[in-house]
């Protein structure tokens, strides 16, 4: 036996003997001792070499996987990716981009950001970073992002190809903090009706929400539509802060409670900016966690109307536990409850993550997305709202007050195939690159030259989004190009009806993408919302309640 394994072997044997002699200890002590002995035995005796770090990670994952579906372990790299979108900023060069084939194409520069300051424009193609080629070399998007991001104050040299200029242009960009907004869109949906769409609940959500309320109030907002479709949640405190702007002093917003965590209540302070106007909240099956806190409180406090489809059903609170190497355990420590006492966590079996992850598919198969009659709640899950005493249910998501069925005819199989192959996105990128100057000349860089209330003006010569919304259509040659590319990739509609429906939806989608590329995500949603069934239902409810 080699000398270098004698000591760990003796230690392992000592631990084994200690384990045999101290079986009278507590169950917890014995379990910890067991784990230590197993680790030492594997390190000392296993036939092949082992990676200590991976061994520890596998042990942690193994323990957590047999708990609830939301307790998890993340590596340092995963922690950064998970927390960055919620922190409200990251450090980089400040561009929004897409990959066109194997080249980074700038869709927009961040207003006032590092790239805009040095003269980088939408439509530019990045070909090199610090003299390393990134175009035409099959470099992954993640690797390109890693090269562009870096600490605030550091410099990066970027080589750019620009339409109409033969040579590569070089820019030296000083990295800075880049804001990550959680408000996707904010505008006046109709006269007197404001609209705010939240993508998540992060560190800056409350400030963003307040700024939107103030701007919309200046434009005559009386009622508000809050769009939480596809909002996967985020910080519980951010959700409580948003609710504080909508509810009266002392109103319960949400409370949490767990086996070792005492009940903690969140209540409105009474200083909110929008406590009187009517509220409609839009949700769907992908609205989860903090989005369910908001929709559940609005419903329970009879503050407004919830429109859409039953939400995801995540009512568990995770506490982050930082580990020495920068990794993290997110451990479920409590349930959260809506003001009426509902726990909206959907049922799960410990260790049954696979079935839990496929629960939405089962809902779809059972017809829940197309008919509210497919949804059944046990009487034991029945609760009452706090002011009007309406019946609501716990036990798995927030059931809306008004159901919006999934329109299975809206997006055809042919459309889904075009999207999956990135044919629509690539067509948009090519078109936006070639037509950007002409489109800005026609409609202007400022989408609202006379303010955001210019929608519906009759002046045909006026530039801005109103003119774009009224007059613009995707050129036929662009649509023909999409169909031609589909044919090259072996895609075709089953009949003329499917082709017509696909063309209709692709045209709308392309117009929305062009609006986004010319201006912001707000203009994207201004286009798509005009045919959105959730928006139509919200407007109908507000009209009916007048």
Residues with a catalytic annotation lie at: 289, 300, 314
Cβ proximity of 295 and 281 under 8 Å: yes
Question: Which residues does residue 308 pair with via DSSP β-bridges, in sequence order?
Answer: 283, 403
Question: Between the CA of residue 297 and those of 95, 191, 238, 252, 342, what are the distances in Å?
Answer: 37, 27, 14, 8, 10
Cβ proximity of 292 and 314 under 8 Å: yes
Cα Rg for the chain, rounded, in angstroms? 27
Cβ proximity of 172 and 157 under 8 Å: yes
- Token look-up 């995801």 returns 312
The distance in angstroms from the start CA to the end CA of the chain is 88
Question: Which residues does residue 125 pair with via DSSP β-bridges, in sequence order?
Answer: 105, 161
Residue 522, burial from CB neighbour count under 10 angstroms (0-12, 13-18, 19+): buried
The 10 Å Cβ neighbour count of residue 276 is: 8
DSSP characters over 230-248:
T---B-HHHHHHHHHTTS-
Contacts of residue 66, Cβ cutoff 8 Å, sequence gap at least 6: 350, 351
DSSP state of 531: G
Q: Residue 163 and residue 101: Cα distance in Å, rounded?
A: 17
| Residue 171 phi, psi (nearest 5) | -125, 140
Cβ proximity of 292 and 343 under 8 Å: no
Cβ proximity of 94 and 176 under 8 Å: yes
**H-helix segments, 4-135:** 6-21, 27-45, 52-65, 76-87, 114-118
């Amino acid at each position: 036996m080699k000398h270098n394994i004698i000591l760990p072997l003796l230690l392992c044997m000592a631990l084994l003997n200690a384990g045999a002699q101290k079986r009278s200890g507590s169950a917890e002590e014995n379990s910890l001792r067991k784990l230590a002995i197993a680790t030492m035995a594997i390190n000392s005796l296993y036939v092949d070499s082992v990676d200590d770090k991976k061994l520890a990670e596998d042990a942690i994952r193994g323990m957590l996987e047999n708990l609830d579906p939301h307790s998890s372990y993340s590596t340092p790299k995963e922690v950064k990716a998970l927390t960055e979108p919620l922190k409200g900023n990251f450090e980089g060069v400040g561009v929004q981009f897409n990959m066109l084939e194997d080249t980074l194409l700038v869709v927009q520069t961040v207003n006032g950001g590092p790239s805009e300051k040095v003269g980088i424009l939408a439509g530019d193609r990045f070909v090199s970073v610090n003299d390393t080629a990134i175009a035409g070399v099959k470099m992954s998007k993640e690797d390109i992002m890693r090269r562009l991001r870096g600490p605030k104050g550091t410099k990066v040299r970027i080589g750019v190809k620009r339409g109409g200029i033969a040579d590569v242009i070089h820019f030296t960009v000083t990295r800075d903090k880049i804001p990550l907004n959680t408000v996707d869109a904010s505008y006046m949906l109709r006269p007197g009706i404001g609209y705010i769409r939240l993508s998540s609940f992060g560190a800056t959500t409350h400030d963003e929400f307040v700024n939107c309320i103030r701007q919309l109030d200046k434009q005559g907002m009386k009622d508000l539509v809050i769009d939480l479709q596809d909002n996967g949640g985020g910080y519980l405190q951010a959700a409580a802060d948003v609710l504080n702007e909508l509810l009266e002093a002392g109103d319960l917003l949400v409370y949490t409670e767990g086996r070792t965590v005492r009940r903690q209540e969140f209540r409105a302070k009474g200083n909110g900016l929008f406590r009187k106007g009517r509220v409609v909240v839009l949700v769907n099956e992908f609205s989860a966690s903090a989005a369910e806190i908001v929709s559940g409180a609005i419903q329970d406090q009879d503050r407004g109307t919830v429109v859409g489809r039953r939400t995801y059903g995540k009512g568990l609170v995770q506490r982050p536990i930082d580990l020495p190497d920068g990794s993290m355990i997110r451990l479920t420590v409590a349930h959260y409850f809506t003001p009426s006492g509902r726990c909206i966590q959907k049922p799960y079996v410990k260790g049954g993550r696979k079935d839990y992850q496929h629960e939405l598919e089962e809902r779809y198969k059972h017809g829940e997305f197309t008919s509210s009659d497919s949804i059944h709640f046990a009487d034991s899950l029945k609760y009452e709202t706090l002011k009007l005493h309406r019946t609501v249910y716990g036990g798995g998501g927030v059931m809306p007050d008004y159901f919006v069925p999934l329109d299975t005819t809206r997006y055809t199989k042919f459309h889904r195939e075009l999207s999956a192959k990135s044919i629509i996105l690539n067509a948009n990128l090519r078109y936006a690159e070639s037509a950007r100057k002409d489109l800005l000349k026609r409609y202007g860089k400022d989408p609202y030259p006379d303010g955001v209330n210019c929608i519906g003006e009759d002046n045909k010569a006026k530039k801005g989004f109103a003119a774009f919304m009224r007059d613009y259509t995707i050129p036929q040659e662009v649509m023909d190009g999409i169909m031609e590319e589909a044919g090259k990739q072996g895609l075709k509609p089953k009949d003329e009806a499917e082709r017509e429906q696909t063309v209709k939806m692709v045209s709308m989608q392309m117009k929305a993408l062009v609006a986004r590329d010319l201006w912001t995500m707000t203009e994207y949603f201004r286009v798509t919302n005009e045919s959105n069934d959730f928006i139509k239902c919200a407007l109908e409810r507000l009209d009916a309640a007048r």
